[in-house]
Amino acid sequence: MKKTLLGLLALGAVSSAGADSFGGHIGTTAGVHYQTDLAANSAVRYGLNLSATRLFRGEFGIGGEVAYLRDATGQNLGGLTPYYGFGLGVGAAVGSRIGVSAYPHVLGGLNYAVAGGPFSVFVEGNVGPTIAVATSGTGIGFGGGVRLGLNYELR
């Protein structure tokens, strides 16, 4: 227990070294997120997602995600900064069926800082296996998603 608390405190100390931002996205899911820089070219993002596509199946879906993001070293394409990373999403659904899922994935995207201000816009894609356990059965599949989002840097 002591080692776990010390590890979390160390992570908090590292996380507070960089800039923080919050924002939202739309796409395969819609949600909000909080992002903290680990270094000049890497960050961790924590998100809360609502799955709009589940509503068409008579379900309400909610999920969370944690993702590690890293800028592609030395790349800046006319103000666009490419990045890559990996994440783990988890979700739950209630309605016509009840279930939980996990989605480990890789991701890539482009970020654009708007006029050097605190706002940035990003587009991102992700792919990976989906593992689900539900009242209708269990299964492993392959999933993917896209996002268009906005970040606001807390300065």
Q: What is the pLDDT, as a whole number, of residue 32?
A: 97
Say which DSSP state 117 is in.
Answer: S
Q: Low-confidence residues of the chain, pLDDT below 70? A: 1-18, 52-55, 75-76
SS3 94: strand
Question: What does the alpha-carbon distance between residue 22 and residue 20 come to, in Å, rounded to a whole number?
Answer: 7
Structure tokens at 76: 């800046």
Q: What is the pLDDT, as a whole number, of residue 139?
A: 94
Domains of the chain plus CATH, in order, are 20-154 (2.40.160.20)
Question: What does the alpha-carbon distance between residue 83 and residue 52 come to, in Å, rounded to a whole number?
Answer: 26
How confident is the model over 86-113, as pLDDT tens digits?
999 999 988 888 999 999 999 999 999 8
